[in-house]
Amino acid sequence: MNTQPILFCGDPHGRFDHILRAAELLDPMAIVLLGDIEPEQPLHLELAAIDPNKLWFIHGNHDTDSDQNWHHLWGSTLAERNLHGRVVELPNGLKLAGLGGVFRESVWYPGHSDARFESRSSHARSTPRQDRWQGGVHRKHWSSIYPEEFKALATQRADILVTHEAPGYHPNGFEILDELARSMGVKVSVHGHQHDRMDSSHRWVQQGFKSFGVGLCGITAIDLDGHAEVIFSGDLDHQSHSSGA
């Protein structure tokens, strides 16, 4: 493991003490929150003790459950650290990409139904004015995945891809996220949402990359070779295939 690890933080659901402790103890290169963050106050206040240049996150489905959740994330000064739909370069040169949110049947649910809306903007135009949030789609759909942003991400290259949804190795995952990782040339993918600490080691060759799930409020350091070290165990790590919907 590198002397300055990359820490991947499973769904915090409003709990940050373990992240603050890990940041202080390990001096990581980067700290990546995998969605369902739900801060009780703006995220920059929750994580004020951490260098903001080390912080990255993607949003999860619960981050749009309430006006408060939305404002504390998208209204935070750390909002620019949202990885959703883009690729950034870490200090060691590795490229990190993110896809926040979840697939929803009312928008797009790959493998089950065709997309009802290609883009967030087209969905916004179909949203009654009284139901719009911040002039766009309903608040809930700020955490929905749209084909347009998915396809745009697929044209880029990255070493690591973080998603809230799980890829195809997981019982509740999506094969289309495997396709995304392969099209981007990703070597490692990491996800939250399902609250499971799992990996796809039984199918790494078949996948063409390595997948890891990080447990509920857990932290795992993962490198590009697929070495994973649990820093804080997740709350449900003693169980298997827990649902984090």
| Angle ∠(195,196,198) on CA atoms, nearest 5 | 150
Contacts of 134 (CB under 8 A, 6+ apart): none
Q: Is 53 helix (H, G, I), strand (E, B) or coil?
A: helix
How confident is the model over 180-222, as pLDDT tens digits? 999 999 999 999 999 999 999 999 999 999 999 999 999 999 9
Average pLDDT over residues 114-123: 96
pTM, full prediction: 0.95
